[in-house]
Amino acid sequence: MEQDDKFKFVESTERKHYMFYIYIIFDFAMAVIMLLFGIWFYRSKGQASNFLSGYNMKSAEERKKYDENAMCKAYGKRMMFMSIPFIAGMIIDIWHIGIGCLIAWVIWFVMFILLLMDRHKREG
């Protein structure tokens, strides 16, 4: 009976160990994705504006009213900034498995809502 208890302990410890790596890799991947998209938007010289939802639906006449280069730089900076919660989440996950990832997603979601509110305020 004692042997079975040791096996369960080892199995649960190994499972925690795997989850540790999954959360760290996931946080890292999200941070890299956000950072790379941000850099791409920032350096696109306005060409990435075609990927902004809503803006790509406007007519060519309406698009002339906007500075596409400045708009892409602003969105690029914001995307790079939105990678920070995942970097912080990765660090938190080292000590508290899964908590950092959850916190990162909550902060990212709040940042995304603020982005949508800011955009709505500017367009409305």
Whole-structure pTM value = 0.77
pLDDT score for 12: 63
| 22/73 Cα distance (integer angstroms) | 32
Domain count, the chain: 1
User: How far apart are alpha carbons 9 and 38 in whole angstroms?
Assistant: 44
Q: What is the pLDDT of residues 10-67, one digit of tens each?
A: 556 666 778 888 999 999 999 999 999 999 999 999 888 888 777 777 888 888 888 8
Read off the pLDDT band of 8 (50, 70, 90): low
Amino acid 46: pLDDT:
85
Domain range for 36 is 2-123
Instruction: Give residue 124's pLDDT.
Output: 66
Q: What is the pLDDT of residue 53?
A: 73
Query: How many distinct helices (H) and strands (E) make up the chain?
Result: 5, 0
User: b vs e for 19-30, b when ≥16 Cβ sit within 10 Å of the residue's Cβ?
Assistant: eeeebbebbeeb
Is residue 5 very low, low, confident or very high in pLDDT (cuts 50, 70, 90)? low
Convert the pLDDT of each residue in 86-121 to its tens digit: 999 999 998 988 899 999 999 999 999 999 898 888
